[in-house]
Structure 1
Amino acid sequence: MQQAEITAPPRYRPLEFGVQSILVQAQPDGSSHVRAEQDLTAYACRMTDRLLHWAQHTPDQAFIAQRERLADGSTGNWRYISFAQTLEHARRIGQALVDRRLSAEKPVIILSENDLDHAMLAMACLYAGVPYCSVSTPYSLVSTDYAKLRHVVETLTPGLIFASDAARYDKAVRAVVPTGCDVVYRTASDNALPHTRFAELLATEATAAVDAAMQATGPETITKFLFTSGSTKLPKAVINTHRMWCANQQQIAQTMPDMVKGPPVLVDWLPWNHTFGGNKNIGLALYHGGTVYIDEGKPTPVGIAETLRNLREISPTVYFNVPTGFEYIARAMESDALLRASLLKRVKMFFYAGASLAQPVWDSLHRVQEQEFGERIVMSTGLGMTESSPSALFINRPDVRSGDLGVPVPGLELKLAPVDGKLEVRYRGPNVTPGYWRAPEATAEAFDDQGFFRTGDAVQWRDLQDPNQGLRFDGRIAEDFKLATGTFVNVGPLRARIIHAGAPFIQDVVLTGLDRKEVGAIVFGSPACLALSGLEAGATQEQIMHSASVQQHLQTVLDQLAQTATGSATRIARAVASTRAPSLDLGEVTDKGSINQRAVLSHRADVVLGLYEETLAHILKPNQA
């Protein structure tokens, strides 16, 4: 009799998980309260205290770096700004802000990609106690009506608007700048809007007044406004305070202690108008004395080249990206020895957020890691949002599965509230926003009668018998819908199943079927579809997605899903491949690449109608009856 082969468990690069056990308390109303058994320890009162600390103890340590822009538009060597230099810049620019009598009622708006001047102005705002708002660049550079940018300006009533380059931003600034608001440009031509040069702010002599302004700040002082992405409604301005930011950095440190043992080194493209890049990642370096290398690449067919170049040169200690970015990196590492050696040299953990990571991408990364070093790097994730600074849950074990979220960070209390047959996760803790700026009704609606913030995210236990294994994602409650038969469609899990079945060629899916008899799908192809199509680079999205090989792949996916469907709510009865990417301008996708189901359905109502009335070309249906 042949003995069954015993497969050894995978070996992971050592990583300490700080929260191993949680407490769950059932409540009389049917909900449960959940928290980490580990208490939150002391944290800084202000993020500026951490800047002062590092400027004194490691003054020459680089805080932030960016490649120099050459005359031909390419990038060259790295330019570094140390913690001591950051403090000096913050005091000088901060003095200019104090001189202009800026405040929460007249804050700073920043229209710029991630760059050194953007970072220094943000640090100056922190130091001077003036809130700032980094605005999504598509609001200025992609939008044609500037509606969302105008909404941001009208909501905040800024006293100063900074834009990095007048040649690109002047038109947007002219369209929205209010009377009496100062305009600051780094570079500008003579015909630009009347303005102040950024260099003039930097040349301001700091006085005792700016130091007094800093000393007047405290835990409740507003640091910034971060706007929600918005779907069918205009974005809301989330209030962020020093307490929120500092508490969350301490929560992250206690949950993932290895991430901050020694100064963290990040190579990061994530935009600072989002809480992932602007709070979590910048915060890691600022709070723990690390360095952020600004990656001017993007997870796109063109932009990924710069990201790969940077990762070949700089070895991060922790690496953050969205699933699309990891997909490109996994493919490149298969044949790029220098990339493998540099990226995997000292990284302690990979972390993704924004969407589901397809299992084949996950498997590819682990395969390359094992071949290179004989061990896997933990691919971590969690759950968070703008309103929680952002981190709320983190994975607490190496054997992560797609959809796992983990356990709450110390000091944050979860409430698992029954809503429409699901468990909505709600937050209460020091890292949670006090509300939305100048929106009392929206703020009141966001919290329940016990003071828990309503996230709209549904979760379920990974193992009902062992809560310490943590929670799993169960979709967005607002995304779920009923068919005409009254059957609920659980969007999150079904969407994840389609992406997994179609990997690596399906980037994302938007499900349709509200008040219809069948579930349908609008499928967004991944960059890998070009190779599958057999077409040359430069082919249009329509040519790629309507090619015979891509259509056949999607047909195979539909057939396979139909075989495992358990009823009308889990069966994709019709699908169409989208021939245009989701729009940033319309809020269909965020800067990070996560798709907004409601926005897509709202702006593509004609596609949904055509899918069911069968007026669209290339509608696919499963062959199985």
Structure 2
Amino acid sequence: MTAATVPELLSARPPDGVAAVAITRDGAEECSRGELLERAGRLAAGLVSAGLDKGDRIALVAHNSVDWVAAALGVMQAGGVVVPLDTQMPLKEFHFVLRDAQPRWVFTTGALVDRVIGAEVDPEPTLYRLDGDERAPEHWRSLWADEPIVPDVAPEDLATMFYTSGTTGAPKGVPLTHKNLASNVSSLVQENVAGSDDRVLVPLPFHHVYPFTVGILVPLRLGAPLILPFSLVGPQIVRALQLGQPTIMLGVPRLYDAVWTALEDRVAGRGAVAEKLFHGMLALSMQARKRWGLRLGRRLFRSLHQRLAPSLRMVVSGGAALDPTLTEKLRALGWEVATGYGLSETAPILTYNPPERLRVESAGMALPGVELAIDPPGEIGEVLARGDNVFHGYWRRPDKTREVLQEDGWFRTGDLGELDGDGYLYLQGRRSAMIVLPGGENIDPERVEGVLSQAEGVREVGVLESGGRLVGVAVPEPALLRAHQGEALRERLISAVQAAGRALPSHHRPGRLQVAVDPLPRTRLGKLRRHELQHLYDRLAEQGGVSAAKAEPIPRESMAPEDQQLLTDPSAEATWEYLVEKYPDFRLTPDTSLSLDLGLDSLAWVNLSLTLRDRVGVEFDDDAIGRIETVRDLLREAAGAGQSEGTAEGAGDLVAELRRPESNVPEDLQRWLEPRSALSAVSARLLWALASLFTRVWVRVEVRGRLPDDGPVLIAPRHLSVLDPVVLSHAVGLRRMLHLRWAGWTGLLFQGPVSRWFSRAAGVLPVDPASAPRRSLALAAMTLQRQDSLVWFPEGARSPDGRLQPFQPGVGLLLRAWPVPVVPVWVEGTRELMPKGRRLPRFGRATVVVGEPISAERLKALGDDEHAIARLIHDEVAALEPGSPRS
């Protein structure tokens, strides 16, 4: 017998087996089906004992968790109406929804309590927390009864109420009955696309009806474990794909678009050859499937599957239309793709596009038990739907209900489309979003926006009607925003949009364009809030130019939906809050560049990462520097970084770290500091003899001054050429050479057995302050700690123009930790003998001028200012230049 209520759906399976797998920061925790149902049943019994009446509403304001699922099931089992709310909803809208729903109870978390209280709901609901101390009276477990109850709900009883996203106005409550939900779940199960041996990953917030029905109720009905990521951000979704071993993933188009973009960026980063090979394999996989039905993707991209999602076989997309081209790419990579179409009012699925008979341009065929019609029939018109999954009317909005529900049970979806002879539905846009100009031209704004957003330097475009003509609002890419301001920015954007608009009919091109610096207002699923777009355009038109960016961090509600979602991760949120605190008077956004906008070099990044380790509790490594360019990158790394066990007092100070450098130098690198073996010493003498012969025959070196006899010292030379170390070795001499280490760039040395042998014999250390500053500084600190002298080029790289460059603060940090005498050295002539790009040096002369050592006491007198130490050494080196006042 077909289940008619949610409890009947859940009772179809025995209580054994895994119901949910929650990916934690450190691993994964399983919850059995029996445990989940017991939690729900005991909550249901407690709510009934507390006086819950059928139809009482209980709001859920929390991030995804197993307890969220148990609470929702318990409310429905008790006869209550669960009202899932978006935790990231703009505050004004959030308060409106809470007051409109008038919940009797609210289940929330400590971080969101203030948001709920601020809504001032009358009568005031009772608040319970899903987190915190389980013994506290406000904890939701205090409601639990000792034993579960037998559900007493009927098919026509309300089970849930979801609020529409408010793309065209204030959100509307959409109540759904047990019958609505049960019928939709049963119809989906009949399609036999998934079974009890599947594992379903749901990286979507549960407050949407799509993940609620398809992501929670369908897997529970099937007996398939539900995989919950630690948070709904990229790095944690990848962890869930690996740890949870899902076979099916639910998503929305923006998620899959982000996956594809990240994949392409990664391939492009490996070079032109790798990029061509990847796209060639992709094209081969597409053609093989289209022409011969061969599915080569999993074989061609086996390493990708093993690295990213070893068990994943199918991706499901809903919430909006998935781009057909992207669909084909995902299939070519080796994943089956299933899509569907529906609305909150239809619980939600109306049509399903199954993988085995997928038509990528279509929204699919009607589910069993669903009727579809087109008004007017026989042409493109409004899509009508009828079935047990269709709701009975909006909450407290009879006027809106009459607009969409006909007396004969047909629901007017508001979408335009047509049905082909096989029953496949093809959508043509949203009727309410369609723009009709005074001349009678019908314009689908989504089509226009898709074309214009491809313009160079344009991030996104929204179009609307104003004053009888088509107009638009454009948002520039961050790089364009940095390069141009004011009217120049506006002109560049207009030019780019006009160029892209040539691909459209003339009446589809906006006649006037306003420029906004913040993302356009969108729902969490990425749909444009068109009523807010109208307000934004009017405000920009009044300003008469580009919107002015306030000198303060961007509010969360003004961020793009995916950035708002990123901040639901606890570590990412704490990182953002720290940055807001540190830069309160700066226009901080997820696109802010750490280097270009905030001026952070690699060493400043090290200090930032250590501070975040103490403040946020996440551990960054040197490899993260190569991946982080923007604040968004930093937030993603924070979301995916390992949790720190806590640090000792002062661990946030890089200098304190350098005073105990072993903790930051891997064992395989520490061996470079081991005393030379007999063979290595012989090799070192041979290299010195060769260098000495070279500096007598090929490059004649004049040395002025003398290096100290005792160490350790830090030798700080000017850097002009790869020839510098050879010339310096002449000034060092053999005896000092055997107790000297050189900082050597890993990009030039250590790339093969010969260069590694050379580096070992010469005492060269593998340092790269640009991409691994902490490790490089720690390796240098260990050198001084072991009483060896060190050659460190403080400019960080060869001078591009022959002039002495500013010294990097790394040398100051190193000397703050290990204050030893510093020998300034001026090198002259090597750039002319062997400029960058030349393979062999010319015959000629070079000069090495050795200055008086800067004493450790003089360095200590500068206190904790590494920049002052670097400037002092810079000035002492500059003073050695022939012809300078002090030379």
The TM-score normalised by the length of structure 1 is 0.73
Question: Over aligned residue pairs, what C-alpha RMSD do you find?
Answer: 3.5
C-alpha distance in structure 1 between counterparts of 2:60 and 2:35, whole Å? 21
SS across alignment from 2:161: strand
Counterpart AA for 1:168: L
Query: 2:456 aligned with 1:475, yes or no?
Result: no
Alignment of 1:255-270 (within 5 A): 255=191, 257-258=192-193, 260-270=194-204
- Once residues 402 and 251 of structure 2 are traced to their aligned partners in structure 1, the CA distance between those partners, rounded to angstroms, is 33
Aligned positions of 1:546-625 closer than 5 A: 555=495, 558-562=498-502, 564-568=503-507, 570-575=508-513, 578-582=516-520, 588-607=521-540, 615-616=545-546
Change (3 A) 1:577 1:122: same
Contact kept? 2:429, 2:446, Cα under 8 Å? yes
Q: Distance in 2 between matches of 1:279 and 1:116?
A: 15
Give the equivalent residue in structure 2 for 1:623. none
Q: Which has the larger radius of gyration?
A: 2
Change (3 A) 1:313 1:397: closer
Q: Distance in 2 between matches of 1:45 and 1:244?
A: 8
**Are the structure 2 counterparts of residues 261 and 448 from structure 1 closer, same or farther at C-alpha, using a change threshold of 3 Å?**
same
Secondary structure of 1:88's counterpart equals: helix
Greater per-residue strand proportion: 1
Asked if 2 retains the 8 angstrom alpha-carbon contact of 1:426 and 1:455, the reply is yes
Pick aligned residue for 2:189 from 249, 253, 264: 253
Q: Distance in 2 between matches of 1:49 and 1:175?
A: 35
C-alpha separation between the residues in 2 aligned to 1:617 and 1:236? 31
Q: What SS is found at the alignment partner of 1:196?
A: coil
Contact 1:312 1:339 in 2 (8 A): no
Q: 1:294 aligned to 224, 228, 233, which one?
A: 228
More helix by share: 2
Change (3 A) 1:67 1:296: closer
Unaligned runs of 5+ in 2: 268-301, 549-887
Q: What is the aligned counterpart of 1:163 among 102, 108, 111?
A: 108
Deviation readout 1:537-593 (Å, 9 max, x if unpaired): xxxxx438979999979855642441x33341x3344545542123xxxxx322222
Question: What is the match of residue 216 of structure 2?
Answer: 282
Matches within 5 A, 1:111-150: 111-139=61-89, 142-143=90-91, 147-150=92-95
Q: Which residue type is aligned with residue 229 of structure 1?
A: S
Q: Deviations over 1:236-259 (max 9, x none)?
A: 21111111111111222334x22x
Provide the rounded CA distance (Å) in 1 between the counterparts of 2:198 and 2:441: 48
Amino acid at match of 2:240: N
**Aligned-partner residue type, residue 426 of structure 1:** L
Distance across 2 between alignment mates of 1:117 and 1:218 = 25
Once residues 361 and 50 of structure 2 are traced to their aligned partners in structure 1, the CA distance between those partners, rounded to angstroms, is: 48
Q: Secondary structure at the match of 1:250?
A: helix
Aligned CA distance change for structure 1 residues 609 and 170 (closer, same or farther; 3 Å): closer
For 1:230, which of 148, 166, 170 is the aligned residue?
A: 166
CA 1:286–1:488 in 2, change beyond 3 Å: closer, same or farther? same
Give the counterpart letter for 1:379 in structure 2: V
Residue 325 of structure 1 aligns to which amino acid in structure 2?
A: L
Query: CA 1:248/1:571 → structure 2, altered by over 3 Å: closer, same or farther?
Result: same
Match of 1:273 in 2: 207
SS at match of 1:308: helix
CA drift of 1:158 comes to 2.1
> Partners of 1:179 and 1:565 in 2: how far apart?
54
> Where do residues 29-40 of structure 1 align in structure 2 (5 Å cutoff)?
none
Comparing both chains, which one has the higher relative contact order based on Cα–Cα distances under 8 Å and sequence gaps of 6 or more? Answer: 1
Aligned to 1:537: none
The C-alpha deviation readout for 1:314-367, integer Å capped at 9, x for no partner, is: 332222222221122224445598763265544343222334545664465345
Cα distance in structure 1, aligned partners of 2:322 and 2:112: 34
Are the structure 2 counterparts of residues 157 and 560 from structure 1 closer, same or farther at C-alpha, using a change threshold of 3 Å? closer
**What residue is the counterpart of 2:6 in the other structure?**
47
Q: Percent identity, aligned pairs only?
A: 20
- Select between 171-180 and 320-329 the one with higher mean Cα deviation: 171-180
Q: Does the Cα contact within 8 Å between 1:601 and 1:608 map onto a contact in 2? A: no
User: 1:445 Cα shift?
Assistant: 2.3
CA drift at 1:83: 0.8
- Other-structure match for 1:407: 365
Instruction: Name which of 412, 415, 425 aligns with 1:457.
Output: 415
Check 1:344–1:118 CA distance in 2 against 1; reply closer, same or farther (3 A cut). closer
The CA distance in 2 between the partners of 1:295 and 1:544, in whole Å, is: 38
- Relative to 1, partners in 2 of residues 1:265 and 1:441: Cα closer, same or farther, differing over 3 Å? same
Q: Is the 8 A contact 2:23 2:243 kept in 1?
A: no
Contact 2:80 2:159 in 1 (8 A): yes
Change in 2 beyond 3 A, CA 1:502/1:277:
farther
- Other structure's SS at 1:43 match: coil
Distance 1:616 1:351, change over 3 A: same
Count, aligned residues:
510
Find the aligned partners of 1:227 and 1:187 in 2 and give their Cα distance: 25
SS in 2 for 1:326: helix
Structure 1 90/338 Cα, relative in aligned 2: closer, same or farther at 3 Å? Answer: farther
Residue deviations 1:263-302 (CA, integer Å, cap 9, x gap): 432222211111111122112212111122112444xxxx
Does structure 1 conserve the Cα–Cα contact (< 8 Å) formed by 2:242 and 2:309? no
Deviation sequence 1:85-120 (CA, Å, 0-9, x none): 012111211111011121344321111111122111
- 3-state SS of the aligned residue for 2:27? strand
Separation of aligned partners in 1, 2:424 and 2:361:
11
Secondary structure at the aligned position of 1:513 is classed as: strand
Match of 1:62 in 2: 18
Residues 108 and 238 (structure 1 numbering): CA distance in 2 closer, same or farther, change over 3 Å? same
Paired residue secondary structure (1:225): strand
Shift of the alpha carbon at 1:484?
3.8
